[in-house]
Chains A and B, each alone.
Chain A
């Protein structure tokens, strides 16, 4: 669906992105085959000392954090009553839904026996575990997101009754339930690491880890909405209706403001965390410099840049800053799960992802983009379905 195809009228399947995606899909299929016939050891660099690698660090942790745009946007619109963000809700919900769906998809690769994924909920719940908490909430939230997204599909199919029920009666309840679930699983992902203080570097380990992950997910979501919105406006501009286009600048400014304040608060929380455990001395080490790089370059700096952008109404600055923030979230999740984890092991025992792991991760992200593209080009995400216009509150 490139501009070229619009002009010539022919479906332009041979685009650079499509070629790239096709290659990735083929490689991904092969890696999938390897993984499920020869085991994790054939595709990953996972070991007994490093049981969690790129797939958990990126696909699970980053995926969930960056999909937080769903609950932040719908809360802003429906709970805080900021109706002017209404047009941004569906894209955010879609991003979140696909994000979580592909997180679960990615989990099928990482976990040893993926067909047993329903076991913790339906067969043998281990309620002492934070992972149970994560699993249950992700399962429920995926369901919530599905229900929140499905009106778009129903509109596409023209099925009115269930769509009206969901939109008119269930929206508020779903949104609140979504926030509750998001709070719990975003923080529980951070809390997962509190069980092993001896393995995580003191600068990243804290009793406040759940709080850190939850608060950072908030501005991760807000930034992701700006970021994904920017890219969508570049590539799917022609699909968007006036309300969507008109409201976007306003959304950028408002979300940037919110993100800036939350990041400032997060920065202070991190400093309090260091102070509470008296970890100042670690700042003078190599890991300390890396920590400061993450904190100042990817939290303090974007917070500051967002503030400047809002004050000067510099949309471009905000959009670049959102990219910086997204990278910062990825960096933070990588730091907690891969860099600061097992920091005390000798270099020979440390983990670095294999090509296979990179391959599957890229494969999953590509699949996500393809599905996203499929949905937004067919379903009323960026525009209101003419038949269902104004039939929402």
Chain B
């Protein structure tokens, strides 16, 4: 395929201009995000939680517009006997673990962990989730298409969906009371807890406090802050006295954040977009050239035959005829064998028709 100099320069220029237009690639792969330095967080201490469900009540009170009052009131503690997960009407739930390995039952509050590099935000193809500088991961129902990929991606199984709504279904999850913390108030659950099983503060201060608790009371706490590194780190962290897997928290999530997990596949996109046309174009060019060469050779052979190399032509003809003979013979034999098979089969099944 021949191309004029002008055309070539034009193409290169366009390509260059396109590249220049692009901004800095933020493909979340080579950079490690340590979180906004002044982000807030919450520390949950399961050794202090008594399972009174005041946090659930506090959350519902603060989010009255979105969360209806439940049928079973919050002071009914029998609901703790069945494990629950967050739902379209509950941003947070408390679960009871009677056989976790402590002297009595251990209670654990479950809600969005507001990861430093949230899987939901990475997964959302309409940027409906935002990781705010306050640390809260918030959801924008005005762009959400309802694809529910965020629910697939969340390793903690937190986002819930309003499956019962036909036209305006939303994802429902804890917001860390972002509007309230911007006003200097505490999140609803933290304010309600009488035991300070939930503490609210800057993430770095919470880490210091948690380390202090662990260091001062090595017999009470396990030497691990859940959320310090899990899935790249979260803003909602936990300390306990019993192994985390005994209280329904997965210990096998690893420290790689979700964006880092998908970075490889995403990085391949520009490679494919750039390389494939070159490769395929090349194959096409080679195939086309082969065709041309074959056509030219055939022409030359024909010409040679015409010019008087009758012997060569004759040889070529004999060769071709012999080849044809062989192929035909093979094909005939093949057909013959098949027919024979069919006949013998008929014989064996004889009379089944």
Contacts and interface: CB of A to CB of B under 8 A. Distances in A.
Report if A and B touch in the complex (beta carbons < 8 A): yes
Interface of A: 35-42, 44, 46-49, 51-52, 75, 78-81, 110-114, 116-117, 119-120, 123-126, 128-133, 135, 172, 175-177, 179-180, 183-184, 187-188, 191-192, 194-199, 207, 210, 313
A81 B287 CA distance: 6
Interface in B1-44: 27-28
Contacts of A128: 27-28, 121-122, 259, 262, 266
A117 B145 contact: yes
A122 to B, nearest CB: 10
Contacts of A35: 166
Interface stretch (B124-132, B221-229, B320-328): B124-132
A112 B85 contact: no
A285 B127 CA distance: 40
A52 B163 contact: no
Given A111-B146, A135-B125, A197 B164 contact: no
B72 interface: no
B67 interface: no
A110 B283 CA distance: 40
Given A39-B165, A131-B149, A199-B155, 10 more contacts: A36-B167, A38-B164, A39-B162, A48-B157, A79-B287, A112-B169, A113-B144, A119-B143, A130-B266, A187-B265
- Cβ-closest 6 pairs across A and B: A112-B146, A81-B287, A41-B163, A191-B265, A51-B148, A132-B125
B275 to A, nearest CB: 9
Contacts of B345: none
B153 A195 contact: yes
A188 B163 contact: no
B166 A195 contact: no
B123 A131 contact: yes
A180 B277 contact: yes
B152 interface: yes
A40 B169 contact: yes
A126 B276 contact: no
26 contacts: A36-B167, A39-B162, A39-B163, A46-B163, A48-B151, A49-B157, A51-B149, A80-B283, A81-B287, A81-B288, A111-B146, A112-B161, A113-B168, A116-B126, A116-B144, A120-B126, A124-B127, A126-B127, A128-B121, A129-B123, A177-B277, A179-B276, A187-B265, A187-B268, A191-B266, A198-B155
A176 B147 contact: no
A113 B287 CA distance: 47
B281 A176 contact: yes
Contacts of B162: 39
Interface stretch (B58-66, B235-243, B250-258): B250-258
Contact of A111 (B147, B259, B283): B147
Interface of A is mostly: helix
Nearest to B265: A191
A131 to B, nearest CB: 4
A238 to B, nearest CB: 26
Contact of A184 (B85, B88, B272): B272
Interface in B131-185: 143-149, 151-153, 155, 157, 159-169
Contact of A195 (B122, B273, B284): B122
B276 A183 contact: yes
A112 B119 CA distance: 20
B307 interface: no
A79 B280 contact: yes
B143 A180 contact: no
B129 to A, nearest CB: 9
Nearest to A80: B287
Nearest to A346: B83
A172 B143 contact: no
B86 interface: yes
A194 B261 contact: yes
B264 interface: yes
Interface string B334-348: 100000000000000
Given A113-B146, A184-B273, A195-B122, A133 B266 contact: yes
Contacts of A41: 163-164
Nearest to A134: B125
Q: Which of B122, B254, B268 has the most CB of A within 10 A?
A: B268
A52 B284 CA distance: 40
B161 A129 contact: no
Contacts of A114: 145
A51 B265 contact: no
A51 B151 contact: yes
B312 interface: no
